[in-house]
Amino acid sequence: MLSGSLPGSATTFASASIGCGSAAALYLLILRPPGFAREDRSQLLRSAVGGALLLTGPLVALLLPRDLSGASVTMALALTPVVIAVAEAATDHTRETLAGRLWPGLAAIAGLLLLLTQPSLRNPAEDLLLALTPLLTGCGAVLFCSAQQSRWRLPAALVGGCIALGLGALINLATHAGGWPEMPGLAAGFDALEAVLALVALGRLSAARWSAQFAIVPLLVVLEGIVLMPGSFSGRMILGLLLLALAAFALLIPPSEESRLDLRASTVHPSSTD
């Protein structure tokens, strides 16, 4: 919305890289976290790689000289809960089946296919970037959540994102695919705020609950369009909205106490606590 009202503040790889680097510098300058031990370096590396994948994933379409359609990117990001479900199922040894993890993301995709124009999968470069969008975002979210919680996790993720986004800016510079924003300070500020909020939310929620945004935001946008431009409802539209709402609800609700007890009992160390 802000980029639409202020075109010069649109996100680029350069503005996102500057924003992440500035946010990391401010965090370290203001909070001054304590030093970390040598054995914590692997956790910092995990956080940095997770942040690099997570913050770069939604923006990989900027590598193209022309913009991808918003519907295509929205559908690609809606696959993020599916990627997270597969990644978590591969690393967690629980009784929860993969099907139980997958269905909310698949329901979101089904709802969007009923509501939006289906993407045209004819350009191999565009298809690759659309596939990388949820893959990088989902794997980055799982990797970031798997890192040990510490005061260094957030700045490490921001630094990793800054480096990855900076590489994207260099690629765009070499291929003339992307330019410098007209209002770099404003664009970098927006990007810094968005990156920090995304990482803070992800740190407080699980990766699956965090991914509910990729169903909630399209749902709210479609509902806003219906309110602003009322028209006739079709069965296809109603079914799509219901699927999106169901997927968002299933992803957003926290696991029940019974589920947490089941997960705890099925771990290798049954005496451990949450």
Nearest to 153 by CA among 26, 19, 51: 51
Quick: pLDDT tens for 182-206.
Answer: 777 888 899 999 999 999 999 999 8
Q: What is the DSSP letter of 33?
A: P
Quick: pLDDT tens for 217-268.
Answer: 999 998 988 888 877 678 888 999 999 999 999 999 876 543 443 444 343 4
Quick: pLDDT tens for 84-141.
Answer: 999 988 877 555 667 778 889 999 999 999 998 887 778 888 899 999 999 999 999 9
pTM of the model: 0.84
Dihedral of CA 60/10/29/148: which sign? negative
pLDDT of 249 reads 93
Task: Return the higher-pLDDT residue of 29 and 37.
Answer: 29
Dihedral of CA 54/59/64/65: which sign? negative
Query: Using CA atoms, how far apart are residues 160 and 123, in angstroms rounded to an integer?
Result: 30
